[in-house]
Structure 1
Amino acid sequence: MDLLRSWLRGQAHDEKAHAHAYDGGGGVIKEAPMVIDGRCLTIDEFVDHVDALTFPLGLPNRIFLHHTWRPTRETWNGLSTILGMKAYYERQRWVDEQGRWHEGWTAGPHVFVADDGIWLFSDLNYDGVGVAGHNRDSLHIEMVGNFDAALPDGPMWTNTVAVLGALHERIGLPPEKLNFHRDFSTKTCPGLQVQKAWVIPQVQQWVAEFRARRHTSVAGLRRKLRELAGEALLPATRGTALADAARERGLLGPLMKEVPIEVDGQAYVVQFFAEALLVPVNQWEQVLSLAEFEQQPRHDEVSLAASDDSNMPIYDVTTAPGDVISTDRLH
């Protein structure tokens, strides 16, 4: 099943990517210009961006960490470098399964993490390019710099830990499942000095702190909603059957005082209460009441059928550019 899902995901992405390719002469198929995002985000902006991802072809099940080697942190020049790499990728040639030559990759790494921010490159919703033979259902994160001789540090490393933490949390993948490029290559990427025993605990700590912050924000949601409702809500009361039942059901608050009524000769007391419904943006089928939202587990790890290496596809159905290597290919 995982192999079929991977194949379908790859086919859909390849059809989208090659829709505007044309014969560039000499039998070489010239791919359309690569579409990139190009924005530079802060950590908070990146977390919001990741929360809004929809993954229309299915959740990725692996995250790879890379280093660029070149450009270095010293030669990095923000958007100018991003556009330069885009132009470089668009000149690369590769051969498909039918032996046809193509010019231009259709995707690259998903994120370049630098001292000046988190740069979005290929769309995180779809497969990118990072490790030969291992690009299906995978996300590729590039640290800007050469870390064979020195550990990453400073704002770039702070940003990297946040990127890895946010993505692992979003797709429900434990940080200890993090992959390095060199796990599937003879390369040193993401740098000889970068070891999982050093990286993973930092990502785990970021995730734990992120969950704690999010849990606190959820706890304050009811207060914020009451503030939004303003004078429409009456002060909450205690000790009456209706007030206690409303509290147990997680209703937001009373809209009116208790009123006696009679139905078929039976005396009742009625009171209107406000209910709040929430739905994630772009996930319109997942409507929850405020009480349901508050009761959602916030610390459970999502179990993915394809999370374990033993369940991963043993090969990629299509070849390059899904199976060409990334910016560190010369290292």
Structure 2
Amino acid sequence: MTPLETIQHLLTQDKLEDALKLLILESPKFSSGFHIQTMQLNGRLSKDNNDKVSNVSDPLERDRIRYATLGLTQTLMGFPTVSGQVVATSADHLLNNKCYPFIDRIQFREFLKRQIHGNGAKMIFINGPSKSGMSYLENYLIHLSTLNSLFSVVRINAAVDLNGPEPFKGVSLAKLLGIELGLDLNLDTDELDQFKFTRFGIKLKEKLLANDTIPLIFIHDFHHLQATPDIAKFILKLADVFRQDFPKVIFLIAGMDYEKLPNWESSLRMHCSVYHIETIDRVNVEVCLDGIFDYYQPKILALGDSSITKTEYVNGMISRLIPDENNINLASVGYMISDHLMQLNN
């Protein structure tokens, strides 16, 4: 029995919750629009209230959702799938036209997968030391958007894009996001910032409801930017509106000292997620190099000693990439491997 046939069988037994759970997993294999429809059906079934889900019990409403789900499933059975997974969690080392490595980060991939399959908008703070590869996560997000049209990626480097002379960094960030997301929004008005941020939230919701993609908004390098109170106000406003039946969007904020945000301990931490970036060691880099050798072996042999073994190749690369195993600069390692891959591709 195929997954879609299983969904139909569950619906005939009025196992609506189980059917929608399976459909949420299956729909990203098709057009992004079908996944959006599935998430909307699941949103009608489940109402999030302080992280406690109460299912719709009214028989008429359940029937409406069941028939809509059945109709969508029947449509999908005649529709071709799209290539790729919604979130690849396997050891997929070579990304973006086989030029950009993504070393390990299996925990991050699984974490992001859970966030995507959940309901509503998400705000995620990414925590890690300098040179741990936080900014480099954008390459994986770009990779997802090329695998599946369900996702669109917005990237903002806070240290660069917000490093202008403008004193109000929160408004500047809202303007940048408005431009990147195509929001019909004018923030050059003589009103308090809190009202500008409220209008941003309204326009963002309108845009998301009209689109059939899930934006992955990645704002990084906050640790290189002097934080201002209005940035905190903007982040707090977004977190607040996300709690109110907001369409799917995922904000990933890297390098911000989130624990210093107002109301973090009292309320904000209950409505946001924190991902502590995992440590990458020599073994993780060796596994990545193993994959590169397997994929590019003919070109590697043609470039150098034609009798080189995988072990010799990996050890030789490691000596160049990691001169000090106790102080691995992951950003440097990633870009050096990227240069190597570009040479092999050319």
More helix by share: 2
TM-score class normalised by the smaller sequence? under 0.3
Which protein has the larger Cα radius of gyration, Structure 1 or Structure 2? 1
After TM superposition, the score normalised by the length of structure 2 is: 0.25
More strand by share: 1
